[in-house]
Amino acid sequence: MTKQRLLIHFAHGLRFRLSLVLSLTISMVVSMAWAGEVPTQPATTIQPDQPPFALTLAQLKSWSTQSSLAAADNVSQQPLVRRFVAPLARNSSAVVQDHQARVLYAPDGMNNFANYLTAQPKFNLYNFTHWAQIDVLNWFAGTADLTVQIPARPWVDTAHKNGVKVIGSVFLGIAQWGGSPDTVEMLLQQDAEGRFVMAHQLVALAQYYGFDGWLVNQETDLTAVKDKKNQLVPGQRDPKRGAELAARMLNFMQYLTAIAPAGMEIHWYDSMLADGQVRWQNALNDKNQQYLQQGKVASADAIFLNYWWNAAMVQQSAAKASALGRSPYEVFFGADLWPSRDAQRAFSESKWLDWLFTPDGSRAYGSIALFAPNVNFNFSGESHTPAFSNFVSDASDHRRFYQTEQRLFAGDDLNSAVVDSSGWAGLSKFLPAKSVINSLPFRTSFNTGQGLQRFVDGKAINSPAGGNGWTDISQQDVLPSWQFAVFGNAKVQVNYDFEQAWQGGSSLLIEATTAGDADIPLYQTAVRLGASTQLRVLFQPVAGDPVLSATPVQLYLEFSDGRREQIKLVGSPLAGSNWRQLQLSLPQLAGAELVRIGVQWSAPQTPKLRLGLLELLP
């Protein structure tokens, strides 16, 4: 529904479960360019709870682009890239999937492990690669005092480069954990003309830093009574104040939604009701509908529902959204993946995913909000669920870290091309990937934005930080549209490899473990080739694998008419390295619309190779 753009004069004015994580204080060595000089920039740290990433409401009120609270180096200049659907055929037939359902991704505690602005001298920091499978990244964080949580520029840059929006968080904490009605009242301040001062500040913040909106997570019981030490007064409530503040909060949301510019999204978390009490509904219903839509007035662009829903509640919520004149896709059903909380416990609970779709799987009843998907990073394990990886403390455990994220989307078999017949099927069973490759040049070194070493033109540069590696998500390349999809009867493992790379920290490692044929689609594209288009590929056999040179491994270019240009992966060795180069001009393909790039082989062999660079020049 179109936002109302009239300023309204008012007469009256996610359930946060921040997981305990290690305090990350890290000295820093920076090399933002791919150059071999010794970095000379001063040390820096991840900054968990301070400007420019976190503000109190008092700081929000006084914030301006000229104040000391603003940070020009946190401003993203990366526009949001247009994206398009990347359908993946299975078993030689197209799969009907819902192209309108969206995925919001909300790692729990981004303020603790992602608040950096420059390259960090440590490999095993939190990272993310599946941008093609999500639509919105929520910078989910907050404390009772630090209400406003602002995304870090490196993450915004990379999200936007992949066509993904980023929204910050306005967190109003649970009363027993420090939240206070007084804090909420401060958020709801109005000037003499009835304008909500903080709403304008929130819009200004997002516009200045270049991110895309806010999740308002109001979990404070507004009827609570607290003493001078901010402790709950047992047995006392103030229902009159609670209802008054709740009414003003609804007005605030409607005002914020109205003044937000086109493209900016305002989300509401399912928590507070009209009487000011916090009662998570786990559905869109008569009690909370006004926080999405009240009559003809939009109160939010979307609602993030709490986690304890079932199939009937999903369908009832979709029907309620339609009855309100809103799209069901503006209802995000929360899925709490953290195993300790046993709502949608990662990988061991799966029926919830089926509940979100029609029986044939072709249409979603709404959108999905994945909460605490950082189980691959800092979940240390419990009796019922072992740790998925120990990457947070053991850099050598990087493969399990990456594969756990892959499993969330591709299923237990880590293969988006095959739907798991049992267990966890992954989101790719129901939802298509999306791509941003709609123009040339296109270039990728399969760099995830972190590495054990830094590679420049295939040569490792020793880390001056004691060999601890590096992380900077802003340097991440556009990664494969599917991570990963393998068709054919060969068993093939596809992983990011950190031992060898051409540029950055990683390459793409493809290893057949059984003989057979294989088709590995890598990128969905929408580009028209020209008369001067050139292809360049850098690759290397693993450990001098003799099979690669004898087996017709091919890079393929697939076109909109279904034909494939198959290019045998042979090339000249590059002096001083194990890399080989394939370089071709493609004048015979001028005018053809390229829709997919992949790797295939048909001979019953077991090739093992790394891809270090894939480049198409106009």
State yes or no: pLDDT of 368 exceeds 70: yes
442-617 CATH: 2.60.120.260
The pLDDT value recorded for residue 552 is 77
Angle, CA of 343, 427 and 405, to the nearest 5°: 80
pLDDT in tens, 134-155: 999 999 999 999 999 999 999 9
Q: Is 39's pLDDT higher than 50? A: no
User: What integer pLDDT is reported at residue 91 of this predicted model?
Assistant: 54
DSSP string, 15-32: ---PPP------------
Confidence of residue 616 (pLDDT cuts 50, 70, 90): very high
Calculate mean pLDDT across residues 506-527: 96
Which tokens hold the place of 406? Answer: 């892959």
Percent share of the chain, pLDDT over 70? 90
- What is the predicted pLDDT for the residue at 549? 52
Report the pLDDT averaged over residues 172-176. 95
Has residue 265 got a pLDDT over 60?
A: yes
Token representation of residue 575 = 């002096």
Q: Cβ distance 315 to 299 under 8 Å?
A: no
Q: Are strands 297-298 and 293-294 parallel, antiparallel or unpaired?
A: antiparallel
φ/ψ of residue 231, rounded to 5:
-100, 145
Could you give the percent of the chain with pLDDT greater than 90?
A: 85
Q: What is the mean pLDDT of residues 199-207?
A: 98
- Is pLDDT of 37 > 80? no
Distance from C-alpha of 568 to C-alpha of 599, rounded to nearest angstrom? 10
* Arithmetic mean of pLDDT, 327-338: 98
The confidence score (pLDDT) of residue 14 equals 37
pLDDT of residue 466: 57
Question: CA 266, 101, 334 angle in degrees (round to 5)?
Answer: 60
CATH of 54-69+105-434, one of 3.20.20.80, 3.40.630.30, 1.50.10.20, 3.50.50.60: 3.20.20.80
The overall average pLDDT reported for the chain is 90
Distance, in Å, from the CA atom of 422 to the CA atom of 426, rounded to the nearest integer, reads: 11
Specify the pLDDT at position 546.
53
CA atoms within 13 A on the CB side of 566: 10
- The per-residue pLDDT for 551 is 59
**What's the DSSP call for residue 93?**
B
What ranges do the domains of the chain cover? 54-69+105-434, 442-617
For the segment 96-105, what is each residue's pLDDT rounded down to a tens digit?
A: 899 999 999 9
In Å, what is the CA distance from 340 to each residue of 372, 375, 381? 11, 10, 9
Question: What phi, psi does 602 have (nearest 5°)?
Answer: -120, -20
For 573, phi and psi rounded to 5 degrees? -65, 140
pLDDT band at 13 (very low <50, low <70, confident <90, very high): very low
Q: Is the dihedral of CA 432, 434, 439, 443 positive or negative?
A: negative
Give the tens place of pLDDT for each residue, 536-581. 999 999 875 555 555 579 999 999 999 999 999 999 999 888 999 9
- DSSP 3-state of 508: strand
Element (H, E) at 137: strand 136-138
Task: Tell me if residue 283 falls in helix, strand or coil.
Answer: coil
pLDDT band at 603 (very low <50, low <70, confident <90, very high): confident
For 202, the enclosing helix (H) or strand (E) is: helix 197-209
Omega prior to 484 cis, within 30 of 0? yes
Mean pLDDT on 478-489: 97
Is the pLDDT at 280 greater than 80, yes or no?
yes
Strands annotated E in 457-553: 459-461, 470-471, 492-497, 507-512, 516-528, 534-541
Q: Is the dihedral of CA 307, 309, 311, 314 positive or negative?
A: negative
**Residue 290, pLDDT above cutoff 70:** yes
Query: Residue 49: what pLDDT?
Result: 87
Please report the pLDDT score of residue 463 as a whole number.
58
- The stretch 292-297 carries a mean pLDDT of 98
pLDDT of 8 strictly over 50: no
* Residues with Cβ within 8 Å of residue 133, at least 6 apart in sequence: 103, 409, 427, 428, 431, 433, 434
**Helix 239-259, helix 197-209: angle, nearest 10:** 40
Phi and psi at 508, nearest 5°, equal -105, 120
Of 55, 11, 53, 51, nearest to 183 by C-alpha is 55
Predicted confidence at residue 47, as pLDDT, reads 86
What is the distance of C-alpha 429 from the center of its chain? 18
Report the pLDDT value the prediction gives residue 604, as an integer from 0 to 100: 83
Between CA 180 and CA 595 the distance in angstroms is 54
Q: Are 306 and 16 in contact (CB under 8 A)?
A: no
| pLDDT tens per residue across span 295-319 | 999 999 999 999 999 999 999 999 9
Per-residue pLDDT averaged across 211-220, rounded? 98
Residues 450 and 471: beta-carbon distance below 8 Å: yes
Query: Which residues on adjacent β-strands are paired with residue 173?
Result: none
Whole-number Cα distances in Å, 359 to 91, 216, 369, 604:
20, 33, 21, 38
